[in-house]
Amino acid sequence: MKIIHCADLHLGSKMTSKLNITLAHKRRDEILKNFDRLAQYAKLNKVNIILIAGDLLDTDTTTLTTTDYILNVMREYPDIIFMYLCGNHDNNSALKSNKNLPANLKCFFADWYSYECGQDIVITGKEGALNSNDYKNLKLNPNKFNIVTLHGQEFVGQKQDGEIINLKMLANKNIDYLALGHIHSYKQEKLDDRGIYAYSGCLEGRGFDECGQKGFILLDIQNKKLSTKFVPFMQREFVEINLDITGLNTFHEILQNALQKTSDINSNNIVRLNLCGTYNIDTDKSLTLLQHELENKFFYVDIKDKSSLFIDPQSYINDVSLIGQFIKEVLNSNLEQSVKDDIITTGIKILKEAK
């Protein structure tokens, strides 16, 4: 039996905090369409179950268009079972309130609930926070291949509250595979002598805090023997890179280095270029021009200027000119360093042009 373990799809996410409105809508729609692409993958690869470990939806108030889209995908693939555990983003899921849920959608509830899948496999899940009784009440048949699904933050120790999943309290409970959601990056580790636990991560990155490959875990269980594989499935990757501009004196040099530094990045991707290091007073960074030169090469480019102005105050100590006087004034002020840099750059330009 093949099972896709995915989580944190956050369908319906507005994306407007990261991208301009046109690109945000495009990205929102392609994140939604990736759900259909996932079902297609499942069909092509003879996957029996798509297990969603929470946060399928971005909010409880997801639009009808989004929930209808998801339910129609499920209806179009009647041979695939969609097992849906709600997470903290969709704990009052707008999807579940639909009056006409497809027969191949299997939900989980506030108490433990199990689905028998064929002869050997049992999938058990529970929505919401876990208290100490919940851990005690989890009883699994040791002769079955037991998959347990939960949504929350892994934790090893005494603490148990809200979205915490206490791995210690789930050890030695006959779990073979603990399918988790909530953390947006892939991770797979040993749970105990018998089982493993895994976060699939999200299916698509939605910001620069979610850089790198995103996807799902493909489980193949034959005669109670498990093999797993992480399958990257994002349509675009968030990529963040640093460009040290120290020693680059002209816009042309900065541009050439930026192009070279980004040359290996796929044009579908969403790229952040951080300028760092130091620049000289005469260096023209022309950030808008740099943005224009790079933006057509990728889906979206964001340039963050973290570089700082290099001034050797010593060289102005004996300078009695207006520029020297001006620089000394600014350097001795209580302003933040980045503000000082901006004032000095602008001031020097004006003073030089006035000459």
Binding residues vs Mn ion (CB under 5 A): 55, 87-88, 182
- Rank residues 27 and 182 by Cβ distance to Mn ion and give the closer one: 182
Task: To the nearest 10°, report the CA torsion of 249, 252, 257, 259.
Answer: 160
Give the three-state DSSP class for 112.
coil
Smallest gap from residue 53 Cβ to Mn ion (A): 9
Q: Are 58 and 95 in contact (CB under 8 A)?
A: no
Closest CA to 201 of 4, 68, 2, 334: 4
Smallest gap from residue 24 Cβ to Mn ion (A): 21
- Rank residues 73 and 86 by Cβ distance to Mn ion and give the closer one: 86
Smallest gap from residue 119 Cβ to Mn ion (A): 33
Smallest gap from residue 287 Cβ to Mn ion (A): 36
Q: DSSP string spanning 245-312?
A: -TT--SHHHHHHHHHHHTTTS-TTSEEEEEEESEE-TT----HHHHHHHHHTTSSEEEEEE--EE---
- Rank residues 49 and 86 by Cβ distance to Mn ion and give the closer one: 86
Q: DSSP string spanning 331-354?
A: HTS-S-HHHHHHHHHHHHHHHHHH
Q: Are 341 and 309 in contact (CB under 8 A)?
A: yes
- Rank residues 130 and 243 by Cβ distance to Mn ion and give the closer one: 130
- Rank residues 88 and 104 by Cβ distance to Mn ion and give the closer one: 88
- As a whole number of angstroms, the distance between CA 123 and CA 146 comes to 6
- Rank residues 13 and 283 by Cβ distance to Mn ion and give the closer one: 13
Smallest gap from residue 151 Cβ to Mn ion (A): 6
Smallest gap from residue 223 Cβ to Mn ion (A): 34
Ranges of beta strands (E only) in 38-143 are: 49-53, 81-85, 105-107, 113-117, 121-125
- As a whole number of angstroms, the distance between CA 226 and CA 222 comes to 7
- Rank residues 163 and 295 by Cβ distance to Mn ion and give the closer one: 163
Ranges of beta strands (E only) in 57-206 are: 81-85, 105-107, 113-117, 121-125, 145-151, 153-155, 164-166, 177-181, 187-190, 196-199
- Rank residues 10 and 236 by Cβ distance to Mn ion and give the closer one: 10
Task: Tell the residue number behind the tokens 């915490």, with chain if given.
Answer: 164
- As a whole number of angstroms, the distance between CA 52 and CA 127 comes to 12
Smallest gap from residue 276 Cβ to Mn ion (A): 32
Smallest gap from residue 148 Cβ to Mn ion (A): 17
Q: Are 279 and 309 in contact (CB under 8 A)?
A: yes
- Rank residues 165 and 273 by Cβ distance to Mn ion and give the closer one: 165
Smallest gap from residue 183 Cβ to Mn ion (A): 8
